[in-house]
Amino acid sequence: MKKIWDISPPVDEHAAVFPGDAAYSQQLHFALGPGCPVNVNTLTFSPHTGAHADAPMHYANGAAAIGAVDLLPYLGPCRVIHCIACGPLVLPRHIEHALHALPARMLLRTSAVARQDWASFTAIAPETIALLATKNVALVGIDTPSVDPATSQDLPAHHQLLRHGLRVLENLVLDAVPEGDYELIALPLKLVRADASPVRAILREL
C-alpha cells in the first residue's frame, strides 16, 4: 500500500478567507428523525476556502471558469520543494536547487507549519513563475493563501500564471511532507461558472 499525505486543511467555521469574502457556514436543511430518513446540510462558503484551485476567470474577465479547465495538471507526478522561511517572496534562487528534471507539477513549502493567515504569508515572485514556465511546469502550488501578497492590486504572479497557461493550488498543508517527488491528486469540482473550486488535495508516494 502506497503512503498517502493529506495536504488539505480542515474546512469549517474556523477556515480563514480573504477579508470580506464569504465565511463558511453550515445549516441543517433536513434532519434525520420521524418522517425524514436522512440528514442534509446547506453549505455557504467562498470557493477559495481551504485548499483550492483558482480558475483563470478569477483574475481575467472572459477567461475559463474552473469547470472548463483541463484536469490533467491536477493529477500526476509532482515535486515538493522546501523554501522554508525564505521571506515575503519565493525567488528563483530559493528553488534552483530542486529544478533538475522537474515534473509538470510543483508545490512550495514555505513554512514549517502552514497557517491560513492573511495577515502575513509568503507569496511567489512573478519571475519565479516565469522561470517555472520555461521548465514546462503545468501547475504550481503553495502552502499559503495566495501566490500574490494580500495587499497586491495588480496580482503579478497570477497574471504570470495566466500568461503561461499554468494552473495553481493555494492553501495547501505540506507540514509533514519531505522534499521530493510524489503523485499529486487534487481535482477541482466541475463548477461551470465558478472562479475557483475547493479540492481534496493528496500526495501519494511513487
Q: First vs last Cα of the chain: how many Å apart?
A: 11
- Distance between CA 35 and CA 48 in Å, rounded? 36
Residue ranges for the known binding site for Zn(2+) are 48, 52, 54, 158, 170
Q: How many CB atoms lie within 10 A of CB 153?
A: 6
Q: Out of 29, 58, 82, 97, pick the active-site residue.
A: 58
- Tell which residue, 50, 142, 134, 53, has the closest CA to residue 90: 142
Catalytic, 58? Answer: yes
- Distance between CA 109 and CA 122 in Å, rounded? 10
Q: Do 1 and 171 touch, CB atoms closer than 8 A?
A: no
Which sequence positions are flagged as catalytic?
58
